[in-house]
Each structure stands twice: as C-alpha cells, then as structure tokens.
Amino acid sequence: MSVQTWTYILVGLTFALYIGIAIWSRAGSTKDFYVAGGGVSPLANGMATAADWMSAASFISMAGIISFAGYDGSVYLMGWTGGYVLLALLLAPYLRKFGKFTVPDFIGDRYYSKTARIVAVLCALIVSFTYVAGQMRGVGVVFSRFLQVDINTGVIIGMIIVLFYAVLGGMKGITYTQVAQYCVLIFAFMVPAIFISIQMTGNPIPQLGMGSTLNDGSGDFLLDKLDGLSTELGFNEYTNGSKSMADVFAITLALMVGTAGLPHVIVRFFTVKKVKDARKSAGLALLLIAILYTTAPAVSVFAKTNLINTVSNEEYSSMPVWFKNWEETGLLTFDDKNEDGKIQYVADKSKNELTIDNDIMVLANPEIADLPAWVIALVAAGALAAALSTAAGLLLVISASVSHDLVKKVFNPNISDKSELWVARGAATVAVVIAGYFGINPLGFVAAVVALAFGLAAASFFPAIVLGIFYKKMNKEGAISGMVVGIILMLFYMTKFKFGWFGGGAPADWWFGISPEGFGSIAMIANFIVAIIVLQFTPEPPKEVQEIVENIRIPSGAGDAAEH
C-alpha cells in the first residue's frame, strides 16, 4: 500500500480512538471538565502529562532545530527537560495542596485580589494562545504533506477533532485521550529512530547509535562524518556551537522557568486524588518524557546526515519522490541559481539553492531513509497525536480561565454549575477558532513560537507562583506589579526583535546579546525586582493569607490534603 493509504488508515484509526474515548468519558460536571473529577491514577496522569508536555514542538520541531543548529539546539533539550524537573519538584506538590483548579485561581486566592486574578487570566490567555499557535501549525504541516490537502484545510480538520473531544470531555476526556496519544506518539517516534539506527550503525538503540561507527566499512564515527560533511559545505561543525554563552544560559533558563509557569501542565497535578499521587505522576511523566528527549538528538543526526548525502551536489531531476512531495507543500524549495541542474546546498546564502523548513526533518526522516510506507504513515499519526494532545490541554486552560476565573470568580459568583459548564464549552469553541487562525497564519516555525510562549510564562507567572509559595509576606501589589511589568517587557521585546515591530532590530541590537527566545529570563528578573521593590512600600498580606502559605509547605498529612 502507498504512504497515503497507510496514513489514512492509521490517522483514521487514531482519530476514531480519540473520539470514542471522548464520548465514553464526557464531562458531566465542572469538576469533571476542569480536573477530570480529581480521580485519575498516577500512571494514567503521568502518561497524560507526558503527552500534554510533548507537543508538536517536541515531536516535530525540536529534532528539526537540532538538525540545523547542531550543538546550539541543545538549549531546547536542557531547558525543557530541566524545566519539567523544576516544576515537578519545586511547585507541583505545593500547588496541589493549595487545591485550586487553575494558575489564575491560585494567584487570585493567594494574592486575595480580583485584580490579580484578572491579570493572571490575561497572562494565561497570552501564553496559551502563543503556545497553541505552534500546535496548529504542526497539524497543518502534517496534513498538507501526508493527506495531500491544503495546509489551511488541514488546520480546520485538526480544529474540528480537538473541539470535539475537548469541548465534550473537558479534562476528563482530554486525560484519557492523552493516555492513548502518548502511546501513539512515542511508538511513532521510536520505531523509525530504531530502524534508521540499525540501518546506519547496526546499533538498535538510537541513543547509542548516534555515537557509534558507521556500518559502511569506513570505520568513521557518525558524528565525525556529520562534522566533516557540515564543514565541507561551509557550515559550523555540527558538534560545536556558535551562540554566546550568555544567550545559551538565557534561553535555557527561560525555557526552564517558563515550564514551571505553564498553566496547561500545572493543572494536570490537580487531576489526582492526593499530593502523593501528584509526586508519583510527576516522576512517571519524567521517565516517559525522557524516552523521546534522549532520542531526539539521535534523530536529528540521522536526518541531517541522510539529507546531506541525498541532496548535496546531486542532479535535481534524480531526486526521489519524497523531495518532490515536500516541494509541493512549500516547506522545501529549490532555486537553481547557476542553472546547472544540480542542488547546491551550502552555508553561503548567495550560492545556496536549497531552503528547508526545520519542521519537516522529523516527518521527512523516514522517507529520506527509504523506510516502509507504514513507518512513514506512523510518524504522521504520532505528530498529530503530539500536536492535538497539547492543543487540547491549552484549550482547556483558556476555557477554564474564562469560565471559572473570570465569569464565576469575578463577574457572576452565583452562576450555576450547569451554566458554568456551558460557558466553559463556549469559551473553548471560540479559542479553537482563534487557534485555527494562528495555524493558518503562523508566527514562525513551531519550536520558535513555543519557545516564545515559555518566555512569556517565565516573565509573568513564575515569580508570582514562587513568591506565592515560598515568601509569605509577598503581597498583591507586588505580585500584580511584577506580572504586569514582566509580561509587557517580554511582549515588547518579542514583537520588536522577532516580528519587526517598533522599528525592528537585528541580532546585533539585542539587549545584552540575548535573543527573543531567551529574553524571558531578563523579563522574569525584572518581575522579581519590581515585585520586591513594590512590596517595600505597600502593606503586608493579611495574617490568614500568611498562615495558608505556611500551611501549604508543611508535608505532614499532605497525602490527605483536600481542596480548601
């Protein structure tokens, strides 16, 4: 069977599974909708958290970035992995003990202020919409190539599927759908990686294959081979970085602390019964995430090596079918500048004739390696699972922020449970439409957009959450001021240097030499400084709030902690 036939079969089966789970686990109350009734097992929650966490950026774009950035791409691995550890150990158990559904709910109650809640909702919406834009672009990329439909049509199909199980099932439907999606995406990522590792090095373990010798009889190590190919074409050595140490540190830190402030991941720790279960599911999720994250560098090495060997200085007319298929999507383009009919893939932009979108590398990798059609189709199904699982989690954050934190807690405290559920579903529907718009009009390649979302989370939420848990004297004035300054500073820098607003600006003009992806670190520091300065000139929090803060840090009896 052809790749397209296999893709229809595998994607159709997985979509039917997701929809079936949503119907089986549909939400009947706001507690079901927001936190799956609070009764999810640690294993199921760990798998769902891993799927929620490993978005299109992790599945599609991270290995793609590493393929082209080499050593510099390691910041994404370090930042996202370290950030999850930071979240699991430093914040999740305390937030779970506090017993609130959402991050704005925590901030609103901890800082005893409707204004703080509204600011937190606005920050959650900005972060979530920026993040979900990357997911919907990933959906469009997969559909455009493997189902032979226009990218815009692909995004709309993805919108309909997500809308169905997110709006019908809420967190309960999303949780069990994400368990299935984790199984699909990890199988889809590992199978081609194992195939190609055996094909290139004879080692079935990709993590070890990346550092092994090639099985072509040359005795060369794979990484040495890639370094040589890269330098021959004028690129930096693959295993050497070109970023400044300051920018590497800033991006890694922004991704780490941004992770710890991501509302769609934090809410997962409210779906289990006890704080002890939150810790267990965090540990399990870390192990499940590590399977993909330790494999991604190997996939990037395999893909880049095979790509260079396939296209560099080869006749365009002799290119395999996969090349022509990706050309049709517009994500791979060949411009024969010297009209010799050969593909010149070099670092010199004036001579380079091949333009490759980072986001195609993982998806095209099995095709470049000439793997069986079913493996190629499996990757498409896995990429969709990764994008849709995270998109659903983000849509839930958006709908909960509007219905629970704005409508119920600010504008209409007496709203009935049933009415609140309808508001949540309506908000999710509107959010899907906006997310679809960003998928059709993308801001950039998937991982870059997602990195900006992490920077926004770092700049806004992380200081407010950390100070709210570990500093009982932090007051509402300090927290609100810090969040406002942090998010505005990050938005200004991001729009100026990433999208060319406010006069644009080249990398040479970056403040402190920090890229937009890393500036969340600077904005976060500004948030901390402003919050602490404002605190000095404003009243302390009420005694009862300080007592709550002390209580959430007491481990004794934590296993039986219920909602306050």
Evaluate the CA torsion angle 326, 329, 330, 331 in order and state its sign. negative
317: in domain: no
Number of other CB atoms surrounding residue 100 within 10 Å: 22
277: in domain: yes
Q: Which residue has the tokens 């009420």?
A: 542
CATH of the domain at 369: 1.20.1730.10
Give residue 60's Cα distance to chain centre: 10
For residue 291 the two structure tokens come to: 């399977």
Rounded distance, CA 99 to CA 156, Å? 36
At 564 the pLDDT is 43
316: in domain: no
428 contacts: CB under 8 Å, gap ≥ 6: 163, 166, 167, 395, 396, 398, 399
* Among the listed residues 10, 21, 9, the one whose alpha carbon sits nearest the alpha carbon of residue 47: 21
Rounded distance, CA 235 to CA 474, Å? 50
Q: What stretch of H or E contains 333?
A: strand 332-334
319: in domain: no
At 286 the pLDDT is 85
Number of other CB atoms surrounding residue 357 within 10 Å: 19
At 558 the pLDDT is 44
Q: How many CA atoms lie within 13 A of 104 on its CB side?
A: 30
Rounded distance, CA 442 to CA 132, Å? 11
Residue 331 CA: distances (Å) to CA of 81, 141, 326, 382, 449:
28, 8, 6, 20, 17
315: in domain: no
Rounded distance, CA 155 to CA 442, Å? 11
Rounded distance, CA 339 to CA 160, Å? 45
In the chain, how many domains are there?
A: 1
| Encoded amino acid at 548, one letter | I
Considering only the C-alpha atoms of the chain, give the largest distance between any 2 of them, rounded to a whole number of Å. 78
341: in domain: yes
Rounded distance, CA 480 to CA 248, Å? 29
3: in domain: no
322: in domain: no
Note down the domain range covering 433.
8-310+327-560
Rounded distance, CA 373 to CA 173, Å? 31
326 contacts: CB under 8 Å, gap ≥ 6: 145, 332, 360, 364
Burial tier of 212 (Cβ tally within 10 Å: 0-12, 13-18, 19+): middle
The rounded average pLDDT for each run of 10 residues, N- to C-terminus, in the chain (564 residues) is 84 82 66 58 84 77 85 84 79 74 82 91 84 76 74 80 68 76 88 93 92 87 90 86 86 86 71 75 86 91 90 86 83 86 87 85 88 88 80 77 82 83 82 80 64 86 91 94 95 83 73 88 96 94 89 58 43
For residue 410 the two structure tokens come to: 């600010």
At 420 the pLDDT is 80
